[in-house]
Amino acid sequence: MASRRQNEEITAPLLDYSSSKYTEELQDTIYEEEQTLPKRVWIETKKLWRVVGPAIFSRLASYSMFVITQAFAGHLGDLELAAMSIASNVIMGFDFGLMLGMASALETLCGQAFGAKKYYMLGVYLQRSWIVLLLCSVVMLPMMIFATPILKLLGQPADVAELSGVVAICFIPLHFSFAIQFPLQRFLQSQLKNSVIAWINLGALAVHVILSWLVVYRLRLGLIGTAVTLNFSWWVVVVGLFLYTVCGGCPLTWTGFSGEAFSGLWEFLKLSASSGVMLCLENWYYRILIVMTGNLKNAKIAVDALSVCMSINGWELMIPLAFFAGTGVRVANELGAGNGKGAKFATIVAVTESIIIGLFFWVLIMVFHNEFALIYTTSKPVLEAVSKLSLLLAFTVLLNSVQPILSGVAVGSGWQSYVAYINLGCYYLVGVPLGVLMGWVFHQGVMGIWAGMIFGGTFVQTMVLVGITMRCDWEMEAAKATTHVRKWSNTRHSIEQIK
């Protein structure tokens, strides 16, 4: 009886919680197959962009903090730009990719649980993710502390490695913020509370711009000051999201800290690790490009130019990553609700719309290839080098408009471990060797390295994911998702039966 009353208490307010707009969308889904194709596309677009729109804004705001920090460092000098680029793009880039990927396990679990109306499990999943990611943060701490010898071992110039190591140590608070913030974002995102994330990120971005200007131009605290401001701004986001979650913003999905979070940690760790490896192998791929470039002649100019391109690529990549998040949520919701056809249609709409956006930015880069580097530097050699690399940047942006969305499908479906193997093979067994061959054997320098990695790794990986997605049995995936949700909520059901 207690169990029934509890279920009634949880279920009754759901119409209010999901909002009238969400109820209308559910009604649209019931009649979806009776609608014309344009109408179905419009319905799915509205559902998708409820996640993607705020996610683009939030991710752009978050990444802009890195871009602003790098831009301020670039105007301090070429050495400072190279050091900040290595610290933020290589050291923190590896960290960011792994943590973001591990937190993406919540997109599978929370998305499917939300679609299956197992709302009580979302808070438990969030706490499990915090435990796993904080432990991972502690394990990865030596990478931050010993960044200088690691970078020297990788062949980076001594002065760049020394200064990058100092910046990396300053980024330790930022390192731990990832473990708290990324799970919170996925937790809120799976409930369609994306506007909250967007507004908090906007506030943090405003704080960061003001602090960066104050620290660099007024207090003149140099490179270390810019690193400290980035730490502070990211923790503003963490505190904002945490307070919203625990202080009543999610009354049905957050019921307080629970000892149940410590159960099932090993299974949760395996799924998180698969997600982390999958995204990290993608994210680290182009970080390796920067490290390899550091071994070329005239490394500072080459690293600066490539870092500018990677920063622009990373900035634009926030849009495909928002589609990655939106597609993961939509596919997981549909599979969790047992709607395989809906998951397939959501995938098609997401990929098509992302490609259109990618083509727009491809044209934009080609038109303004001589100007966009002025955001970071006024150094003429760097500007000329960036202009030469702009064609490769444009094609990277175009490929990135497809690949992350297909990875989002993998996250929504729980295929992370398979995609991790695909990424490992395509990127590191094909792309990197081809980049080395083009760069050093055929003496094509940074352009050869990058071209080899794009067309040898990214393109092949994208085609493999396209093939897997096209051959997917969506109804079978929906059945698996239903079983998966029941498995992960078994502990809670057992407790309720005892009561």
Do the beta carbons of residue 281 and residue 428 sit within 8 Å?
A: yes
Q: What's the pLDDT at 490?
A: 56
Q: Give the integer Cα–Cα distance in Å for 99 and 185.
A: 12
Q: What's the pLDDT at 331?
A: 84
Please state the rounded mean pLDDT for residues 398-413: 79
Which has more pLDDT, 225 or 261?
225
Q: What's the pLDDT at 110?
A: 81
Residue 7 has pLDDT above 50, yes or no: no
Residue 494 has pLDDT above 50, yes or no: no
Beta-carbon contacts of 472 under 8 Å, excluding residues fewer than 6 positions away, are: 344, 413
Q: What's the pLDDT at 292?
A: 77
Averaged pLDDT score across all residues of the chain: 80
The token duo for 98 is 């792994």
Residue 21 has pLDDT above 80, yes or no: no
**What is the per-residue pLDDT across 226-250, written as a single tens digit (0 to 9) for each?**
888 999 999 999 999 999 999 888 8
For residue 157, what pLDDT band results from cuts at 50, 70 and 90?
A: confident
For residue 11, what pLDDT band results from cuts at 50, 70 and 90?
A: very low
For residue 170, what pLDDT band results from cuts at 50, 70 and 90?
A: very high
Residue 215 has pLDDT above 70, yes or no: yes
Q: What's the pLDDT at 379?
A: 82
For residue 86, what pLDDT band results from cuts at 50, 70 and 90?
A: confident
**φ, ψ of residue 190 in degrees (nearest 5):** -65, -20
Which percentage of the chain shows pLDDT scores above 70?
86
Please state the rounded mean pLDDT for residues 146-174: 89
Please state the rounded mean pLDDT for residues 471-478: 82
- Of residues 25, 22, 55, 45, the one with CA closest to residue 404: 55
The token duo for 476 is 């079978």
Residue 23 has pLDDT above 70, yes or no: no
Do the beta carbons of residue 335 and residue 112 sit within 8 Å?
A: yes
The residue whose two tokens read 């499917």 is: 112
For residue 383, what pLDDT band results from cuts at 50, 70 and 90?
A: confident
Q: What's the pLDDT at 406?
A: 83
Q: What's the pLDDT at 216?
A: 78
Residue 491 has pLDDT above 60, yes or no: no
The three-class DSSP label of residue 221 is coil
CB atoms closer than 10 angstroms to residue 214: 13
Output the pTM of the full model. 0.70
Which has more pLDDT, 489 or 371?
371
**What is the per-residue pLDDT across 338-366, written as a single tens digit (0 to 9) for each?**
888 888 899 999 999 999 999 999 999 99
- Long-range contacts: 26-31, Cβ < 8 Å, 24+? 29/339, 29/342
